[in-house]
Structure 1
C-alpha cells in the first residue's frame, strides 16, 4: 500500500532524457519520410504523364478503326501538326503541366507506327512517359 501513496514524481532530468531519446529516434526516421514524399511526388507525375500518353494512344487507335489515315490526320483532337518528314507526321499539344508529342507514320501495308512522348514542358528536357505501338488502319 505504501507504494501507491508515494508522492515521488518524475525529475526534470528524466523528462529531458526521455525528450532527447525521442528526438534521436525521430531524427533517425526523418530522411525516410522526406524520401517517401519525394518518391510519391515523382510517382504521381509519372502516373499522370502515362495517363495522358495512354489517352492519346486510345484516341489514335479509335481513329485507326473508324477512318482512313488521310481523314484521321486532321481529326486528332487538340493537337497541332508541327512537321512532316519521311512519311512521319508530328503533332504537339501543350497542357497546363505537360507537353505531348505525337508521331504517326504513314501506313505501309495498312500498318502504321504510333509514338507518344510526354515531357514535363516544351523544352523537352525531361521525358515523363513514352508509348509506342503499331496500328492497322481501316480503308
Structure 2
C-alpha cells in the first residue's frame, strides 16, 4: 500500500506548465470580453439617463407653456429672448438643472417647440442635435 502511494506521488500525470498557461489565457480572454460588455452597458445606461432627464425638462416646459405661465414659472425658469427665432413670435431661453432650454412660441399658428441641450454652446451650434425636443400646438 505504501509503495502504491509513493508511486502515485512520483508519477507525471499532473498538469504541465503549458496547460496551466493556456487555461489562464483562455480565462483572461473570457473575462476581458465580459468586462468590455459591462463598460459599454454602463455608458449606454448613462446616456439613457441623461436623455430621460432632458425629456422630463422638455415636458415640464411644455406643460408650463400650455398653462400660459412660462413667464412666471418657478419650475421652468427661463427668460424671454430679445430677438425671437426665425418663424416664431416669442423665444425663451434659460438653464434648468444642468440643461440649456430653448423655447420657441408662435402666436399665429400656436406652435411651440421646446429643445433641451446639454449646454448653451450646443444650443448655438445649428448642426447639434438636442438632447430632447418636444412640440405642441396650442389653440
Tell me if TM exceeds 0.5.
yes
Q: Which structure is higher in helix share?
A: 2
The farther-off stretch of 33-42 and 46-55 is: 33-42
Render the CA deviation track for 1:97-125: whole Å, top value 9, x for unaligned. Answer: 1101111111x3xx511110000101114
Q: 1:67 maps to what in 2?
A: none
1:56 aligns with 2:61: yes
Q: Provide the rounded CA distance (Å) in 1 between the counterparts of 2:57 and 2:16.
A: 59
Q: 2:31 maps to what in 1?
A: 26
Q: Provide the rounded CA distance (Å) in 2 between the counterparts of 1:117 and 1:21.
A: 49
How many residue pairs end up in the alignment? Answer: 121
1:42 aligns with 2:47: yes
Residues 10 and 83 (structure 1), Cα distance of their counterparts in 2 relative to 1, 3 Å cut? farther
Unaligned 5+ segments in structure 1 are: 64-71
Q: Provide the rounded CA distance (Å) in 2 between the counterparts of 1:119 and 1:10.
A: 63
> Cα offset for 1:96?
4.0
CA contact (8 A) 1:60 1:76 kept: no
Q: 2:137 maps to what in 1?
A: 134
Unaligned 5+ segments in structure 2 are: none
- Runs of 4+ off more than 6 Å: 6-10
> Cα offset for 1:12?
7.0
Q: 1:82 maps to what in 2?
A: 81
Q: 1:121 maps to what in 2?
A: 119
Render the CA deviation track for 1:11-30: whole Å, top value 9, x for unaligned. Answer: 57354443322111112233
> Cα offset for 1:93?
1.3
Q: 1:97 maps to what in 2?
A: 98
Q: Larger radius of gyration, structure 1 or 2?
A: 2
Higher normalized contact order (CA 8 Å, seq sep 6+, divided by chain length):
1
Q: Provide the rounded CA distance (Å) in 2 between the counterparts of 1:87 and 1:18.
A: 67
Structure 1-normalised TM-score? 0.71
CA contact (8 A) 2:61 2:114 kept: yes
Structure 2-normalised TM-score? 0.71
